[in-house]
Amino acid sequence: MANIVARLVSPGPGGEHIRLRNRLPGTYAVVVGGTDVPSGTTQFDYHERLFSRGIGTVAVDSSQPQLLPPGQRLPIKATVTVAAEPMNDEGLVAMVPVANDHGTTIGYADVLVTSVSTPDGTVLANMTAMVGADMNNAGVMVGDKQISARTKPIRWTRDGGVEPLPIGDTGRAGTAYDVNETGEIAGEITLTTGKLVPALWKADGSLTSIGVPTWRAYTSARASALNDAGQVVGDARLLVTVNGVGHTWDEGYVWSATDGFRQLPHLTDDTSETLPHAINDAGWVVGSSKINGTKHAVMWSPEGTIEDLGVLPGMGDSDATAISQNGTVVGASGDDAFVWTRAGGMHRLADYGFDAGAVKVTADGWVLGSAEVQPRDSVPVVWDPQGRVYDVTRMVDPGTIYPLQPMTINDKHEVVVYGYVGSASGEVLMQLPSLP
């Protein structure tokens, strides 16, 4: 027989039928091939997680491939490791590829995971009626709080509690966004005139005005982040209307006490939104800039050269939110969270089949972000350096807090989450448990 008439693959018990139409004269044969079960570790997908890859493994305990004669069944003893939880009592369904003796996958065996347990975290402190944006390894957290009906920048410690930061005689409101390991803080102040200006607070809490870039007559500016060397990054904004047509400049900068302001270049001629979000101690900056009106995650070198980090396959935009000391970048591309490295480029972080995004990354590669467990139902999550995802809501008693939003994580794996605290809202500082 010169040609293959048909090929059928059917996992599990059952039967198959082959029907030939317009049969030609000649000899026909039906060949039933045996299969080998692969040993080793194989990634699998969850049916109930819409095939979100990379959040579990199946290790077949047998070290040798096993022959499966036609028409017979072969039990497989395997160790299943997952990092998710069933959303109902049906369990999770996984699929293990089954290959022939040439290594070609010809079918799948089903694996049912009935339950998954998550270790508990340790609640270190409760913080009500405030928003924490960043925290250093000493446990100093910064953010803002409503004081006398105004949003005011604050600093928080476990021993001292909330400490309002000064906003100057002409300040009306403000927010602190980032704190470095020396205790310096970067943020913004809204003046009584309505103008937004960058703010830098020293470790002793004193306010330093760094001014506004002078390349254009900017109407507002802010400081988004700083590193341990005292370099500050942020953006300055100007809206100009000429003949009824508005044009926006939103331009990034790096500031230091010795060199003053240095402009960060745009990715293209589109100047409407170039936003630096984070800087590491080596001076690498990450954020976003636009191409034809679409945001792309970008990285600026210490010398100021801009690099497009791209987008995930099938997604239209991206934004880089954080960078570690070794250059690992995290953020969101379209509906998915991503991690980027120089060696591996951009790839998607595992999720629960719906939207996700990453906001922070530690020095050892742990990522904090959020993921939807169903549409419009998002929970804080962490990803380990291997890309496995863990639901933070399962690590804390809902009577203490029901986490809704991730805020920050430090290199000690201390996490701050925002959520419901009884009938009110607030934040909790918690220590992540030891995770596999």
Encode the chain (436 residues) as per-residue pLDDT tens digits: 445 445 555 554 555 666 777 777 776 666 655 545 455 555 544 443 333 444 556 666 666 666 666 667 766 666 666 555 555 555 565 666 666 666 676 666 666 666 666 789 999 999 878 999 999 999 999 999 999 999 999 999 999 999 999 999 999 999 999 999 999 999 999 999 999 999 999 999 999 999 999 999 999 999 999 999 999 999 999 999 888 889 999 999 999 999 999 999 999 999 999 999 999 999 999 999 999 999 999 999 999 999 999 999 999 999 999 999 999 999 999 999 999 999 999 999 999 889 999 999 999 999 999 999 889 899 999 999 999 899 999 999 999 999 999 999 999 999 999 999 888 889 999 999 987 6
For residue 129, the model assigns a pLDDT of: 83
In CATH, which superfamily holds the domain spanning 122-431? YVTN repeat-like/Quinoprotein amine dehydrogenase (2.130.10.10)
Across the beta sheet with 329-333, the strand order is 319-323, 329-333, 336-341, 345-348
How many residues are present in the chain?
A: 436
For residue 422, the model assigns a pLDDT of: 83
CA angle 197, 319, 221 (to 5 degrees): 10
pTM higher than 0.75: yes
Angstrom distance (rounded) from CA 244 to CA 238? 16
Q: What is the CA radius of gyration of the chain?
A: 27
For residue 352, the model assigns a pLDDT of: 87
Return the amino acid letter for 227: N
For residue 2, the model assigns a pLDDT of: 43
Angstrom distance (rounded) from CA 259 to CA 279? 16
Query: Domain ranges in the chain?
Result: 1-117, 122-431
Cα separation of the two ends of the chain? 54
For residue 47, the model assigns a pLDDT of: 41
For residue 171, the model assigns a pLDDT of: 97
Angstrom distance (rounded) from CA 317 to CA 264? 20
